[in-house]
């Protein structure tokens, strides 16, 4: 693991009271500026309309001073990632995203480049799920069958993005988010789950993990009560999950 | 397909204002009585504690006049299903349930016995998801990796149990249920999705499909607006999905 590796895992792109990605603007800009990124490759695989999704991201991020190019516009995605120094994987459907990353032989490549400090990783929502050990704690519907739930594995634990601990409605009998996560924690293969509230960002710098953004996170571990971590918390201990 | 096949697919076991399974009591009792069922095999695979889950079901269903036996208490699950005439598959986690059904070689067997009219199928929530074409529209977290998302396939379309069309909260930016289903409808392999509101039951009798219970359903088809179907609706056309 290179001490130079850098990643920002966002709970979501949208957050109540902010325009798209606004809550994360400062973190994204200072990270990209620190390594002199001029061209950010956007991976739109979590949605179906790559052009439309990329256009939306360009509209938000290019005014910040970085050129945004959709990975689908390059002749070969592996070559494109190989010669790039920063990627942004957007949200949508986690199953569709993971399957498409595997279909394009990008999972191992991204892991290796990020962990060796040669590729900055920014992910949001589904793009955050696929950065972790596995997609076991996505909120998305399993709309397409991926070859495995194992993912890029930049961190050895799981993340639940868009974490929220309220009921869908007082009279609805579906499971709450905490009940869903508890079902996972009963599995023998379960890892700790970091629930990122909307507006929360996990910053990874080498083996240092810090909570940034404007909202905190909640940690679930097997046989333990959940623990709240406010913005600014050092959660580097999770590297040893 | 035998004209004698019979199944009841419940949206959930719990429904606001009713005790467990109470809203479905009349349908379950008259179906089981009509074929003189004395012993109902309960499949508790969607949860981890089989004994506890089976005990809970016994407590509800045995007072109605049927003996309930957990499938896990038989020496061989295939033999047990082979010599049984009625099963109830309970809810919990759909991925765990489907994987365990495959691990025990029960998927094909249940399909064949139900469709030939030799096994009554009652399912609730996850037990309803696995009765359909595939589990693509479960609400559950993918806590364990099944060999496929294809399921028992008693019906050739998908069901979304616990269907609800309200937001988790007014300020939360996660997807609504309708948005999640819309993501599935964009897939080339997508089938129509019948959203069963809590308290809704799909009754299958040969190729006749009728909505029963105390709440209706909502049908999603690709490139079409969703359509509401009240209790009592004949939805047999879905057999040709
Ligand atoms: Ca999503
Ligand atoms: Ca469930």
Kindly state the tokens that stand for B33. 């009585």
- Give the residue from A22, A125, A183 with the most B CB atoms within 10 Å of its CB, the best one to mutate: A183
Q: How many A from CA of A129 to the centre of ligand 1?
A: 10
Q: Do A138 and B141 touch (CB under 8 A)?
A: yes
pLDDT tens digits along A117-163: 999 999 999 999 999 999 999 999 999 999 999 999 999 999 999 99
Asked whether the predicted pLDDT for residue B167 surpasses 70, the reply is no
| Contact assessment for residue B230 and residue B199, using Cβ atoms and an 8 Å cutoff | no
Residue B170 pLDDT class (50, 70, 90 cuts): low
Q: How many A from CA of B209 to the centre of ligand 2?
A: 24
Q: How many CB atoms lie within 10 A of CB A26?
A: 12
pTM: 0.96
**pLDDT score, position A72:** 98
Q: Which chain B residues are closer than 8 Å to A97 by Cβ?
A: none
Residue carrying the six token digits 């204002």: B17
CA B27-B32-B37 angle, to 5 degrees, is 165
**pLDDT score, position A171:** 74
Nearest chain B residue to A175 by CA distance is B140
Nearest CA to CA, how far is A52 from chain B (Å)? 15
3-class SS of residue B31? helix
**pLDDT score, position A222:** 93
pLDDT tens digits along B84-107: 999 999 999 999 999 999 999 999
- Which is nearest to A25 in space by CA: A54, A75, A66? A66
Is residue B119 classed exposed, middle or buried when 0-12, 13-18 and 19+ CB atoms within 10 A define those classes?
A: buried
Q: Quick check: is A162 catalytic?
A: yes
> What is the rounded distance in angstroms from the CA atom of residue A149 to the CA atom of residue A136?
7
Residue A1 pLDDT class (50, 70, 90 cuts): confident
Residue A92 pLDDT class (50, 70, 90 cuts): very high
Q: Dihedrals φ, ψ of A112, to 5°?
A: -65, -45
Q: Which chain B residues are closer than 8 Å to A16 by Cβ?
A: 171-173
Q: Dihedrals φ, ψ of A189, to 5°?
A: -90, 5
ipTM comes to 0.95
Q: Looking at chain B, how many residues does it have?
A: 241
**pLDDT score, position B8:** 98
pLDDT tens digits along A167-221: 656 677 778 899 999 999 999 999 999 999 999 999 999 999 999 999 999 999 9
- Read off the pLDDT of each residue in B147-169 and give the average, rounded to a whole number: 90
pLDDT tens digits along A56-86: 999 999 999 999 999 999 999 999 999 999 9
The CA dihedral of A112, A114, A119, A122, to the nearest 10 degrees, is 140
From A11, A12, A140, A200, active-site residue? A140
Q: How many CB atoms lie within 10 A of CB B149?
A: 23
């Amino acid at each position: 693991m290179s001490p130079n590796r850098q990643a920002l895992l966002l709970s979501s792109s949208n957050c109540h009271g902010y325009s798209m990605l606004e809550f994360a603007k400062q973190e994204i800009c200072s990270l990209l500026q620190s390594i002199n990124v001029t061209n950010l490759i956007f991976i739109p695989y979590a949605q179906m309309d790559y052009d439309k999704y990329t256009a939306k991201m360009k509209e938000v991020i290019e005014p910040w001073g970085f050129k945004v190019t959709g990975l689908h516009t390059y002749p070969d995605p592996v070559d494109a990632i190989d010669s790039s120094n920063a990627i942004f994987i957007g949200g949508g459907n986690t199953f569709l995203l993971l399957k498409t990353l595997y279909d394009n032989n990008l999972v191992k490549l991204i892991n290796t480049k990020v962990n060796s400090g040669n590729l900055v990783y920014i992910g949001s929502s589904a793009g955050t799920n696929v950065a972790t050990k596995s997609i076991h704690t996505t909120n998305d519907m399993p709309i397409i069958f991926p070859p495995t739930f194992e993912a890029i594995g930049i961190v050895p634990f799981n993340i639940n993005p868009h974490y929220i601990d309220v009921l869908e409605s007082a009279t609805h009998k579906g499971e709450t988010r905490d009940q869903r996560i508890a079902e996972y924690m009963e599995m023998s293969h379960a890892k700790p789950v970091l629930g990122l509230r909307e507006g929360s960002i996990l910053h990874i710098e080498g083996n240092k993990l810090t909570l940034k953004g404007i909202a905190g996170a909640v940690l679930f571990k097997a046989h333990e009560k959940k623990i709240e971590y406010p913005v600014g918390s050092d959660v580097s201990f999770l590297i040893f999950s």
